[in-house]
Amino acid sequence: MKYSKFETELQVRPDDIDMNQHVHNSRYFDYVLAARYEQMEHNYRFPMQQFLSLGFGWVITKALVNYKRPLGLGDHFIVKTGITDLAAKGCTVGFEITNKKTGKLCCDGEFEYTMVNVNTGRSEIIPDWIIEHYTI
């Protein structure tokens, strides 16, 4: 099954910069997470707040980031994400972060997420009605 990819534009903030004067590697995780939250609300029409209110959450169980070139202070960039695989209890989300001005890839990778019950912290099988929200 093929899933849609969505784009979110963000900008590097002063507190994203490390001692080497480029974006600290940990901030790329934040960028993907911020993009996914925005895309859940605007593209999937299933905001994270609603997801949590139903007793579900996502936890990252694996992360892979391939760094290609740095982003610097004030750079605008595009975070493109999309589900690449959906399993019984989780999904894999692929991503690319591209410098908007140059069009060059800054990093790419994937996160594996497991769906959990926020009350128990245990993984759960993804209900069909949730899968329908992501199958667009």
Per-residue pLDDT tens digits for 74-133: 999 999 999 999 999 999 999 999 999 999 999 999 999 999 999 999 999 999 999 988
The C-alpha atoms of residue 47 and residue 18 are separated, in whole angstroms, by 31
Q: Residue 24: phi, psi to the nearest 5?
A: -65, 140
Per-residue CA distances from 112 to 41, 53, 58, 90, 93 (Å): 20, 22, 10, 7, 6
From the candidate CATH numbers 1.10.3720.10, 1.25.40.10, 3.30.70.360, 3.10.129.10, the one assigned to the domain spanning 5-134: 3.10.129.10
pTM above 0.85, yes or no: yes
Using a pLDDT cut of 90, give the percent of the chain over it: 91
- Res 124: pLDDT: 96
The C-alpha atoms of residue 3 and residue 136 are separated, in whole angstroms, by 6
| Mean predicted confidence (pLDDT) in 20-33 | 96
Domain map of the chain by residue range?
A: 5-134
Cβ atoms within 10 A of the Cβ of 76, count?
12
- Res 133: pLDDT: 81
Question: Structure tokens of 96?
Answer: 């690319």
Using a pLDDT cut of 70, give the percent of the chain over it: 99
The C-alpha atoms of residue 11 and residue 131 are separated, in whole angstroms, by 31
At 74-87, the pLDDT tens digits run: 999 999 999 999 99
Q: Is the pLDDT of residue 1 over 80?
A: no
Q: Is the pLDDT of residue 135 over 90?
A: no
